[in-house]
Structure 1
Amino acid sequence: MSGNDNIDPTTETNAEISENEKPEEKEESFVEKMDDMFKFSLASFSAISLCLLYDTPNNKDYRHSFIDSLVSHLSLSSGVGNTMKALSDNDISQESDVFIQIIISDKCMKENRLNLVKDLVHWCVTSSGGKYDSRSRFLLRHMTWQLHVKLEDLEDVEETLIKMLREQTEKEKLENDSVRAKKARNQKIKRFALVGLAAAGGGALIGLTGGLAAPLVAAGAGAIIGGTSAAVLGSVAGIAVITSLFGAGGAGLAGYKMKRRVGGIDQFFFSPLTSSDQLSLTITISGWLSGDNESNFFDVWSHINQSREQYSIVWESEHLMRLGNAFEYILEGIMSYAATEALKYTALAGLLAAIAWPATLVSAAGVIDNPWSVCLQRSVQVGRQLAEVLLAREHGQRPVTLIGYSLGARVIYFCLEEMAKRKKHSGIIEDIYLLGAPVSGKVEDWKKFSSVVAGHITNGYCRTDWLLRFLYRTSSRHTEIAGLQPIAWENRRMINIDLSSIIEGHLDYAKNMNAVLAAVGVR
């Protein structure tokens, strides 16, 4: 045996690999760049914000689970976690300003403030297995605002995460298709092998199977959200995350159809206003239709940009058109009466607001009372149907903002009322905007929404809305009407906006929607 016989033939090759193909160093994640003071300040800022936003007893479990997950993410001790829970429960009084200053002045933030936002968004989405709770998103909005980060920047981060998840899903699908084809071929080989082995009377059987697809590496993800976070996207867990976010069916709201006729509803479906899939979405609901064209469901919302994924509910168009025509008829009669009586419209509006109804208007009431009554009833059923859709997570595990005017606002009201009666109703609705709502304005009727809505509850009203007051003269016993007055609820999230300087009456909501939306803070 020569001296070379004892040499491993792979030694030289391995030496070359070690010289030329050294493994790349693992990229340091954003959390790993944080020092202990930064981590403690971030946890404290989060806990104080949780206390500010969700201090009610029914949110205690959410506050504590959020803290537990964040403490684990930051690799902090359980003792720190207990302190953070006490902060979130307001057992310890502490202002957030000192912690915000520590965070802002840290070298990690000075390099790029969005790095923290990227880390928090990714953690919120992936740590829960793909459930983006509306309370978590509203909390992120609050925290990023305090850190001087624009909402648009938060949305950009969310959009980037979705794009990466989508790309990984497509790559995984292609690879799985290839694996399935290979497995089918190998199954044929295996059958032939079994026959041969049986004829030989036994022997070792080697299974030729395709196996699972190799984990994917998210291309470019490390540069955007950090190496550790990017690794999650390249795993099978990444597929589970996006499946949870957008729903297992994949069709989402655009593909939703009523499985059966509910409560006399003839028409109810979602029509997209925008085409992109995002981590949050907006649903708009119209209150009546002008003319005989269903395009009015969309035209009134044509300039809305509240989120990058938006839908409009198409519901009971036949009845809403009939109501719109009745509105126009009543308005024409009123204007004719005003001209005959030589009264200016503004003077007449004051007269009507005082409920001194002219005989001409009262005699024409039959034209509007029936379609109004029908639409009042249908809006309740549509609201309950919307609640069913949201509770069933047809939209996936993402936060939803609801915006509606007139009877569309009534749809939202009864949607929330129905959700409040059900279990697991929290974490779905982010913000709501009710404009000219023909619903109760009593505080006790609105307080029950506090556990359903994570963010702002906005009531836009007009004190001079004589038409709404007239419509309610017999159709309801309510003396307090949300569309005519503020909701006297002393709550941080309750926002009342008087629109009397922007619109003069009920019909102006659709005509001046852009100005109305701007006034209530909708982009």
Structure 2
Amino acid sequence: MGRRDHRPPPKRGDLDLSALMNVEQKNQLHQLINVILESMQKNVRDIFDNMGNGRDDEKEDDCESQKEIAKPLIEPTPVPAVLTAASANGFLKIPKSIEEATNLLKKDESEILTSSLNELKRDALTNFGKWRGTVLRRFGDITIKNGGNGGNVTNQGPHQQQGGSSRRTGAVRGRPTRPSGGDVPVDESNAALIRLYPPSPTPLVGLPKEKRALILHSVLLMLLGLENYSTYSRILLLNLASSMHIPMHVLAADELRVANGLAQVIKGISAEEIAARRAEEGKLARRYKVPPASTTNITTFGVNGGLAAPLASLGIGTVFGGLGFGAAAAAGLLGTMAESTVVVGTLFGLYGARATGKMADSYAKDVQDFGLPPLHGSLDKDYTDSKDVPAEDRRLRFVLCIAGWLAKPEDIVKPWLSLKDQSEAYALRWEIDALMKMSHALSTVFRSAAWTAAKKEIVGRTVFQCLEQNYWPIDLLQFSKVIDNPWSVGMVRADKAGLTIADAIVNKIQGERGITLIGFSLGARIIYSCLMSLAEKRIFGVVENVVLMGAPCPTDLRSWAAMKSVVTGRLVNVYSKNDYLLGFLSRSSCYLYGVAGLSSVSGIHGVENLNVSDTVTGHLQYQYHVGSILKSLGWEDLNRNQIVQEQQSLAMLEEEEKRLDQSRTEREAREALARMDLNKGARKTKAEKDQEKPNDGKKKAGGGGKQNK
């Protein structure tokens, strides 16, 4: 999936789908796949070809100072402080020869950076082209015998569920589960699917819903037959579902069912077998200098002569409770995935990567308190090794959520509970002591009388005007020594943690699955640093979606073009123009390049912006808006009940702030009244003294007269 993925293509064989479609329908499916792949390739190309387009047409009501702050494209790109000078701007390289240095000196900075982006574009298109070629060859192996089946699919009989293998019994039996009461409504998710992935016209929409669902299911199995579930594969499936008018929840339930089925076939693998396999991979990697994943075609240890029967018993190859094709056809679509538990284990991270436990130990040396606590499931400890994940908790998608500040240790997981369990979701625990110190400092300032007075004083100015004019109330600047140092420490450690997460992704901590990254505040900074590192290493097709909330990172085009090149799906910038605290914290940084958490990012194809200025009025509110923000984005896997609880918690927080402001106002009024009384008493005393002075003069004068007499 990335630059380091040099595995040979899986072995090919005929894919008999005669029971599913006829020749005409096969050609229609092939044509639709070609259209979608061409659109996906165009999206990659447009990231670079259309860079800068739309900046003048941005319909945001940002202030003029913000437009003045935005610099021309020739300005250098800010990068994480921990990146070496050799990798500045993400892609600059140290000359390896005199000729190369001479050629570089002949170019100005803009030409060098443009050349670097051209190289990135070339590598991204090359990587996608290789995957596209593999997919087309895979679809080219489809065969239709005896004219095929032009009608609806037939029932393959009931499938028995293996005892207690899944938390969703309907999903294992082949019946897609509709969202329950706590989920986002179907209509909302379908509208989001069509908006994000506009449907391509195809005659296949006229087929019965069962047949369309089974076509989508068969394509999912074929893509898994490539021995991974890359982000390219999932974006292809989302486009396919949109074009064939298949609800998003059908695809999500299908992924869940297939993940549970595949997880069951590796459930009985012993720890000794896993250790032996990893040892063998290490020897092969050292001997042949190839990545361990390149040996996954060798079916050793886990081979049981074919997994078609166990997979078929779990409903793989059927939809809606039994409609589908036979076990042999399903096994053919899965390819080596249906022949070896080694390949299945590699998908979930059991093989083909460094032992996760060892990775976690090494990362803990760079990032204090490093850990991945799960958001859901029965795993009661950190994610340290994929073999410890229960079978019922395995999913085809991996999600990592990162908080940017902590009021208490529970805040590592709590902001992300609105995400449901259709993904294998974890939170990142990092630098607890530093984050809690920073949180305490920010809360101290946010709740201070100086901050309340500062907001009143700067109410007529925007955040960018305050930054440009360097206008901040004196009382607030006195608090700078309280928050500047913790914030600076947090920024540096966030950059370092981002490089660590990038290294974990390169080492396939998520297995052969795509990963989604969500973060707010310094958590968004971690993701920024991570994506810049992945772009530098040319790791494509691994990161599916990214959501940055209140990100303290620049908005320059080159950085976001590099980030988007490694994000296959959605790259969303969530910002608030009323986040004066983030603006105050950014006053000493390179705000001339913009602050993503304060403004939109325009000019990069595929980058989305969500303005939450009306709801998020302070930097410390983001953790209470995670669920509602994701809902606004049309996120497909949310618990509405948890979102309601978040809103209730936010209402309580706002009520507490109002009481605090009211008590502060009352106290200030009492103090002002006391000062008035004191001043009044002082004036009265002075007046009395002034009245006594003439009398004293008369007495003295009278006394003197008597004395003279």
TM bucket (normalised to shorter chain) is 0.7 to 0.9
Aligned to 1:483: 597
Q: CA–CA distance in 2 between the matches of 1:346 and 1:307?
A: 45
Aligned to 2:586, the other structure's residue is in SS state: helix
RMSD: 3.1
1:409 paired residue among 499, 524, 527: 524
Q: Does 1:465 align with 2:579?
A: yes
After the TM superposition, which residues 184-333 of structure 1 pair with which residues of structure 2 at under 5 Å, given as runs? 213-216=304-307, 217-218=309-310, 219-220=312-313, 221=315, 224=318, 226-227=325-326, 228-231=328-331, 237-249=339-351, 255=357, 257-260=359-362, 264-275=366-377, 276-290=393-407, 293-305=408-420, 307-333=422-448
Q: CA–CA distance in 1 between the matches of 2:374 and 2:353?
A: 12
> Do the aligned partners of 2:199 and 2:239 also contact (CA within 8 Å) in 1?
no
Q: Does 1:45 align with 2:32?
A: yes
Q: CA–CA distance in 1 between the matches of 2:234 and 2:609?
A: 23
Q: CA–CA distance in 2 between the matches of 1:252 and 1:118?
A: 31
Per the alignment, do residues 172 and 519 of structure 1 end up closer, same or farther by CA in structure 2, a change over 3 Å counting?
A: closer
After the TM superposition, which residues 91-240 of structure 1 pair with which residues of structure 2 at under 5 Å, given as runs? 97-98=200-201, 100=202, 102-106=203-207, 109-126=208-225, 128-129=226-227, 131-170=228-267, 213-216=304-307, 217-218=309-310, 219-220=312-313, 221=315, 224=318, 226-227=325-326, 228-231=328-331, 237-240=339-342
After the TM superposition, which residues 13-92 of structure 1 pair with which residues of structure 2 at under 5 Å, given as runs? 30=17, 32-55=19-42, 56=45, 57-58=125-126, 59-73=128-142
What number of residue pairs does the alignment pair up?
A: 429
> Do the aligned partners of 2:457 and 2:473 also contact (CA within 8 Å) in 1?
no
> Do the aligned partners of 2:520 and 2:550 also contact (CA within 8 Å) in 1?
yes
* Residue type of the alignment partner of 2:204: I
Aligned to 1:38, the other structure's residue is in SS state: helix
Q: Does 1:373 align with 2:485?
A: no
> Do the aligned partners of 1:264 and 1:378 also contact (CA within 8 Å) in 2?
no
Q: Under a length normalisation based on structure 1, what TM-score does the superposition of the two structures give?
A: 0.75
Per the alignment, do residues 407 and 256 of structure 1 end up closer, same or farther by CA in structure 2, a change over 3 Å counting?
A: farther
Unaligned runs of at least 5 residues, structure 1: 1-27, 77-94, 177-211
* Residue type of the alignment partner of 1:105: G
Aligned to 2:409, the other structure's residue is in SS state: coil
> Do the aligned partners of 1:165 and 1:238 also contact (CA within 8 Å) in 2?
no
Shift of 1:282: 1.1
1:422 paired residue among 526, 537, 543: 537
Unaligned runs of at least 5 residues, structure 2: 1-14, 46-124, 146-197, 274-302, 319-323, 378-392, 639-709
Shift of 1:255: 5.0
1:474 paired residue among 574, 577, 588: 588
> Do the aligned partners of 1:319 and 1:375 also contact (CA within 8 Å) in 2?
yes
Aligned to 2:175: none
Shift of 1:213: 4.6
Per the alignment, do residues 391 and 257 of structure 1 end up closer, same or farther by CA in structure 2, a change over 3 Å counting?
A: closer
Shift of 1:391: 0.9
- For residues 227-281 of structure 1, give each alpha carbon's deviation from its aligned partner in whole angstroms, at most 9, with x where no partner exists: 2344357986241331121113599998575343678522222111022210012
Shift of 1:350: 4.3
Q: CA–CA distance in 2 between the matches of 1:35 and 1:365?
A: 71
Shift of 1:494: 1.1
Per the alignment, do residues 395 and 264 of structure 1 end up closer, same or farther by CA in structure 2, a change over 3 Å counting?
A: closer
Aligned to 1:385: 500
Q: CA–CA distance in 2 between the matches of 1:422 and 1:62?
A: 18
* Residue type of the alignment partner of 1:365: S
Per the alignment, do residues 318 and 143 of structure 1 end up closer, same or farther by CA in structure 2, a change over 3 Å counting?
A: same
Q: CA–CA distance in 1 between the matches of 2:317 and 2:363?
A: 50
**Higher mean C-alpha displacement, 146-155 vs 407-416:** 146-155
Q: Does 1:500 align with 2:591?
A: no
Q: Under a length normalisation based on structure 2, what TM-score does the superposition of the two structures give?
A: 0.56
Aligned to 2:288: none
Query: Percent identity among equivalent residues?
Result: 26
> Do the aligned partners of 2:372 and 2:426 also contact (CA within 8 Å) in 1?
yes
Q: CA–CA distance in 1 between the matches of 2:451 and 2:549?
A: 28
Aligned to 2:371, the other structure's residue is in SS state: strand
Shift of 1:329: 0.8
> Do the aligned partners of 1:351 and 1:357 also contact (CA within 8 Å) in 2?
no
- For residues 5-26 of structure 1, give each alpha carbon's deviation from its aligned partner in whole angstroms, at most 9, with x where no partner exists: xxxxxxxxxxxxxxxxxxxxxx
Q: CA–CA distance in 2 between the matches of 1:412 and 1:247?
A: 22
Aligned to 2:395, the other structure's residue is in SS state: coil
Q: CA–CA distance in 2 between the matches of 1:264 and 1:111?
A: 51
Per the alignment, do residues 120 and 237 of structure 1 end up closer, same or farther by CA in structure 2, a change over 3 Å counting?
A: same
Per the alignment, do residues 156 and 241 of structure 1 end up closer, same or farther by CA in structure 2, a change over 3 Å counting?
A: farther
Shift of 1:166: 2.5
- For residues 445-483 of structure 1, give each alpha carbon's deviation from its aligned partner in whole angstroms, at most 9, with x where no partner exists: 110123311111111111111111110111335441111
* Residue type of the alignment partner of 1:244: T
